[in-house]
Structure 1
């Protein structure tokens, strides 16, 4: 699986370039609050193993007022470093490497408890 260049962003972590992307629109499950925010990461150059990240909060554009937070490049870089520590080899061919980030992981990455936002209901 390759991430489309259109709509994706580049990030450099420890001297290595990666490409990451958040879907433009939520899936139906994500929109009704059943799914969490997910995004893929892969090496920017050449084929490699995709990292599938699942965060413990909803998308900001979910239809129901679930807690959410912005996904910023600093969070993506921290997630990439965590995945590398947990065994993700971006240059190894094979199935995608799944990483479920927990509340405790977020607290460790951000240096304190995450600050969530609760969006207003959109009727």
Structure 2
């Protein structure tokens, strides 16, 4: 019997759809249960340690790992069971972040000066500083590049992943007014909360003026002057 739709989530990887759910706490830890969404074939369970944050990224990595180990989600067969230890999860997360940061650098290589500085910081494991530096270069460029909504979402996703929210929120200035109107509600809320919090704690009047204008833009109440 396939996983019930209620209480499960969908994830698409390389064109294939999967349905997944986290099994209740058990002695081995937490079980990520996955099967093909459109065909109840072989099921997969990946056990992780208690306390592990189960995110769509983690589920994606667990699926890719299981596929590499011979899991066949579209074929009938006995359930495949895997165990993913914390060091392996941390290693996979680090590799994913490094790859995404490299992709962001590639995307802005021709439009923003100083990208090699960002790459150098990343090579030394300074992902947070590297990301903040990239965002600063985008904002301070002699000819600041306009960001597409897709680029902004990619930068926001990376910033959220490493806890650098203020860096990506400022980049909303580089969106066109039309793209700002189509900000996903989650990003709009995260950005507004960040700006409200910084306004409550930042005494610099020039920065506060900027934050007020940017918050108005994000909430759809005005524009930001360069």
TM-score by length of 2: 0.39
- Aligned length in residues: 95
Matches within 5 A, 1:45-56: 45-55=38-48
Could you report, residue by residue, the CA deviation over 1:27-56 in whole angstroms, capped at 9, with x for unpaired residues? Answer: 5xx3xxx4301121000002210001101x
The structure 1 segments of at least 4 consecutive aligned residues displaced by more than 6 Å after TM superposition are none
The runs of 5 or more residues in structure 2 that have no matched partner are 96-226
Q: Report the CA distance between 1:94 and its aligned residue.
A: 0.9
Q: Report the CA distance between 1:104 and its aligned residue.
A: 3.2
Q: 2:18 and 2:71 mapped to 1: Cα distance? A: 13
SS at 2:29 equivalent: coil
Q: Report the CA distance between 1:106 and its aligned residue.
A: 0.7
> Where does residue 38 of structure 1 map in the other structure?
31
> Where does residue 111 of structure 1 map in the other structure?
94
Ranked by relative contact order (alpha carbons within 8 Å, sequence separation 6 or more), the top structure is 1
CA RMSD in angstroms, aligned pairs only: 1.6
Structure with the higher helix share, 1 or 2: 2
8 Å CA contact 1:75–1:109 kept in 2: the answer is no
> Where does residue 75 of structure 2 map in the other structure?
92
Q: Report the CA distance between 1:103 and its aligned residue.
A: 2.5
> Where does residue 57 of structure 2 map in the other structure?
74
Structure with the higher strand share, 1 or 2: 1
The runs of 5 or more residues in structure 1 that have no matched partner are 59-67, 113-123
Point out the structure with max Rg over C-alpha.
2
Q: 1:81 to 1:49 in 2, by over 3 A?
A: same
Q: 1:101 aligns with which of 65, 80, 84?
A: 84
